[in-house]
Amino acid sequence: MHTSDQDNVPFVRVAVYPGSFDPVTNGHLDIIHRASKVFDKLVVAVLNNTSKNPLFSVEERVGLLREVTRDLPNVEIDSFRDLLINYMKKKNAHLIVRGLRAVSDFEYELQLASTNRKLCEDIETFFMTSTPQYSYLSSSIVKEIARFHGPVSDLVPPEVEQALRGKYGTGTTEC
């Protein structure tokens, strides 16, 4: 917690890490752990995107995120179905955290950040680059591997691996 110049009033730096997290991967967790050290409070916000057909329901994704972040006291798990800017105002947050895996992510993320800034000039976006070991990892890749019973234990937390096996069955194909 920090203090403002006015009357030494404490203020909390609240950041929001939005995403679909379908499912949460070790790459997401890496960003969550690192961002939780930078900000006083980190809200991991699961987007309820009605135009997508997710594998896990919003409730399942929120539950999995709560399980895998239970050791992080300044991390809150929530969901939203609105414009991110509206959600940010509701949470009294001014900072968005976004992960960048590769240069190819940057153009899209820059477009989002610029749009959010246009909608609300008080909003800042902080980009965190992925740890190299997770730079290739996406939820789509994890789902594809799990769907064909491939090994995902190095890609997701154990709770998520178990949930994936519940969706796709228990067979495993090893290399």
Per residue in 44-87, pLDDT tens? 999 998 777 899 999 999 999 999 999 999 999 999 999 999 99
**CB neighbours (10 Å) of residue 12?**
12
Task: Please provide residue 34's backbone torsions phi and psi, each rounded to the nearest 5 degrees.
Answer: -70, -45
The question of whether 167 is a catalytic residue gets the answer: no
Interatomic CA distance for residues 26 and 23, integer angstroms: 10
At 103, list the tokens.
């240069």
Interatomic CA distance for residues 130 and 106, integer angstroms: 12
The question of whether 91 is a catalytic residue gets the answer: no
Q: Is the pTM of this model over 0.75?
A: yes
Model pLDDT, residue 122: 93
Model pLDDT, residue 116: 93
Q: What is the pLDDT of residues 108-142, one digit of tens each?
A: 999 999 999 999 999 999 999 999 999 999 999 99
| Strand pairing class (41-47; 75-80) | parallel
Return the DSSP state at 132: G
The question of whether 149 is a catalytic residue gets the answer: no
The question of whether 94 is a catalytic residue gets the answer: no
Of 98, 101, 130, 143, the catalytic one is: 101
